[in-house]
Amino acid sequence: MPGTLVDTFKWWAVERADQAAIVEGDDRLTYRELNDWAECVADSLLADGLQAGDRVTIIATNSMKWVIAAQGVMLAGGIVAPVNPRFTVSEASFIVADRYQSAVIFHDDERQPLAAAVAGKIPGCRLRSLEEVTELRHQTPRMEQPRPKITRRSDAVIIPTSGSTGRPKGVVYTHGGLVDYAADTAIARPGAIHNAKVFLFGPLCTSAGYVVMTQYLNYGGTVYIEGIFDAQVALDKIQREKISVMMGAPIFFERIMDLPDFADADLSSLGYCLVGGAQVSRKLLDSWLNKGVILRQLYGQTEAGGQATINTDDGAINSPEKCGRGAPFTKLAVIGPDGDFLPANTPGEIVIKSAGMMDRYWQDEEATAKTLVDGWLRTGDLGEIDEQGLLTFIDRLKDIIISGGLNISAAEVERVVAEVPGVIEVAVIAAADAKFGETPMAIVYSAEGVTPEAIVAHCNAELSGFKVPRYIVVENQPLPRLATGKIAKMQLRETYRDADKTLPKVR
């Protein structure tokens, strides 16, 4: 398949010129308008000196302007390199300044101070408001600057991981990889792409946002962009706009299910719903099934394109603990500690070989070599595969906490907590949370009387709010350890499994 993302979007700009491509609130943007507006942004970037391969960071919440800025960067030959708009200066600087050395940073009004602080650490970095993108909306593309050659091997976007080793890494997707990923998924789920209307609230700085958005624009569908998730807004929009595709963590479907209007809602348009990041309860599955909607479990991670497997209709209903199988060109296996492939129904590390795999980590050859081995992506997650090829996810070996659909690295939070004077040992695990599904909990060993308040104060200064532990236990003895010397987190999870019911929140 020789095409690039640019080829696809250009094709739809003619084929479905007057169909809505992006919808935000009452604002609708057609495929022709999307192309023309993005070309104007590309004109502006090239006139401002952007070079092919330059990284362009976007620090902003989801919006139509975000999408257009990203499309303009792509047309100009740049690499989209977004970060979470909830990052602190320290978090954003590590990625954008230390790793990406971005040439341009786009920001919304609220993130202007953050963007300015980060840009100040990069020589020659240019700061641009997304309001400049708005001003270009109704202009005519000049195309005075020659467009750089873009191939399938050209880098399209760098998505930061949640930092399972304590610091985020940049996952690089190429044009060819994103096109192939969309094509592979289309073969596996043809009913999901026909005139698709996608309700998208996953942050565009993540694979759950950007890759999904790109995937459905590849299909010529309509993407409904949401800045924040509101259950009532979601339920109303599903019915009014006849939304056909929605995906997210179970907590979002639970919030909709709990609405008084859910019982009488018409959800007949929803033909393709995916849930991931946590187990789907039988109550949740049955509640949506009674409305005629099958919630299909998935397994994925940023390095695998976000979605590596999707459960079958029968599996979603009868085996909700399974995550399904991959698309036709996706291979799944499980390996042991020695790297040998394991037989069916044997737990081991999940490995993947697929079109949606990352190309590499940005400027991190060592980490890339450890993750991509003989063409296989080593996920670091524990699972098993049955005789039918259906995957069961067992545990997150990389200790990712998923809070409100956002990934939080336990290692990153541990690194920050360990900086507090008097902390000797720390383990961060997931605690149940009624609102967000999971939230960080820190168990600390200190012989010097460290207080939870001191830990929270330090975390507030160094971490985004959603990463700060809501539960903190300070022990006066060492934390339990395995024979290998590692902290026994499974034991801690069992000890504190009812933390949300027995412990007070610290903030």
User: Quick one: which of 62, 398, 101 has its CA closest to 205?
Assistant: 62
SS3 at position 280: coil
User: What is the number of helices (H) and of strands (E) in the chain?
Assistant: 17, 25
User: Quick one: which of 391, 277, 278, 398 has its CA closest to 334?
Assistant: 391
Instruction: Please identify which residue in the block is written with the tokens 């909607």.
Output: 293
Q: In whole angstroms, how far apart are CA 432 and each of 85, 392, 405, 429?
A: 25, 22, 14, 10
Query: pTM for the complete prediction?
Result: 0.86
User: Quick one: which of 464, 352, 485 has its CA closest to 409?
Assistant: 464
Please give the Cα distance from 426 to 288 (Å, whole number). Answer: 40
Residue 326 CB partners (closer than 8 Å, separation 6+): 188, 308, 309, 332, 352, 354
- Using the Cα atoms of residue 193, residue 198, residue 201 and residue 205 in order, give the sign of their dihedral: positive
Task: Mark 310-334 as b/e (b = at least 16 C-beta within 10 Å).
Answer: bbbeebbeebbebbbbbbebbebbb
Give, in degrees to the nearest 5, the angle at Cα 252 between 158 and 26: 75
What is the phi/psi pair of residue 12, to 5°? -70, -25
Q: Please, what are the domains in the chain?
A: 5-228 (3.40.50.12780), 294-395 (2.30.38.10), 400-502 (3.30.300.30)
Please give the Cα distance from 309 to 359 (Å, whole number). Answer: 19
- H-state helical runs in 58-188: 64-75, 89-93, 112-119, 130-135, 175-188
Distance, C-alpha 221 to centroid of its chain: 20
Pair 412, 162: CB distance under 8 Å: yes
Which one-letter DSSP state was computed for residue 481?
B
pLDDT under 70: residue ranges of the chain: 1-2, 163-166, 397-398, 482-485
Q: Dihedral, CA atoms, 386, 392, 394, 397, nearest 10 degrees?
A: 100
